Amino acid sequence: MRQDIIDLYDDYTHSRLDRRVFMDRLAKLAGGTAAAAALLPMLRNNYAMAAIVPEDDPGVQTERVTFPGASGEMQGYLVRPADASGELPGVVVVHENRGLNPHIEDVARRMALEGFVALAPDFLSPAGGTPEDEDQAREMIGQLDPAQTIQNALAAVEFLKNHEATTDAIGVIGFCWGGGLANQVAVSSTEVGAVVPFYGRQPASEDVAKIQAPLLLQYAGLDERINAGIPEYERALQEAEVDYTIEMYEGVNHAFHNDTGSRYDQEAAELAWSRTIDFLKQHLAG
């Protein structure tokens, strides 16, 4: 996929273009309306490819759960190793700006196979839950109250920490929009023991000194939109003496970890995942 088309799609998926403008520009890049229409399914996520760990995998136990949120009931997807004989560390898995979908549920199952109890909350619960239409989900994400959403994330951490299957060691991992929310959890929570934002929006510099958890910050080399905030974030982290590591994956795009999308890069995704698991085990299970 050409980089200019990927960049245009990134602008669209992060609400900087409406659909009509996006399709007009895509048609110009693709050479016509028909070509643009043919490209669109290739750009969108294909959730039929999501199940690296099938939902019925005998190695995991899955369930739908609810827990109290900031202003009502939150829904979530809880996964644990099927053969767990005792309490395990927990990890909250925060979805992208398309809501809780099959890909994120699969990421939660992968996390469980690594020896964690994983909770993937649906942050669109206040709006009735994640719809099947990802464009609609993205619009709904944009209408969420940011402060309430952070409180819902903190409620997810608290729910997982108090769950009978977990120790009191809880981490947070987030992707895209969820990476930004993971950064906000790091700012707002004293309960988390490790945070891994994937290509997430950085918090305000004046809030960075509040961070107590170690951070593993995963970025994509071609992600100019998000990467523009790295220098200021890193300065604030250094001034506050926060324990952090930045990993930059050169030559790959925002959302490189999402194996259901057009920006997926297998080599970078597998390396980032292995680093994530090592980091979480070091800080939560060590």
Number of H helices, E strands in the chain: 10, 8
Residue 283: exposed, middle, or buried by beta-carbon count in 10 A (0-12, 13-18, 19+)?
buried
- Residues 221, 279 contacting (CB under 8 angstroms): no
Q: How far is residue 78 CA from its own chain's centroid?
A: 16
Q: Tell the CATH superfamily of the 47-285 domain.
A: Alpha/Beta hydrolase fold, catalytic domain (3.40.50.1820)
Amino acid at 257: H
User: According to the model, what pLDDT value does residue 177 have?
Assistant: 97
8-22, 147-161, 238-252: the lowest-pLDDT one = 8-22
Compute and round to an integer the Cα radius of gyration of the chain: 18
**Tell me: the pLDDT tens digits for 69-111?**
998 999 999 999 999 889 999 999 999 999 999 999 999 999 9
Q: Which helix (H) or strand (E) holds 102?
A: helix 102-113
Closest CA to 120 of 175, 190, 193, 192: 175
pLDDT bucket at 67, cuts 50 / 70 / 90? very high
- Give me the pLDDT at residue 135, please: 85
Nearest to residue 156, comparing CAs of 125, 131, 130?
Answer: 125
pLDDT of residue 21: 77
Quick one: how far is CA 137 from the chain centroid?
A: 15
pLDDT of residue 3: 75
* Poorest-pLDDT segment among 42-46, 95-99, 227-231: 42-46
φ/ψ of 8, rounded to 5, equals -65, -45
Sign of CA dihedral 225, 150, 243, 240: positive
In angstroms, the CA 36 to CA 22 distance is 10
pTM: 0.86
The 10s digit of each residue's pLDDT in 211-224 is: 999 999 999 999 99
CATH 3.40.50.1820 domain range(s) in the chain: 47-285
- pLDDT band at 231; cut points 50, 70, 90: very high
Angle separating helix axes 19-30 and 3-13, nearest 10 degrees:
180
Residue 152 above 60 pLDDT?
Answer: yes
Res 23: pLDDT: 73
pLDDT at 160 over 70: yes
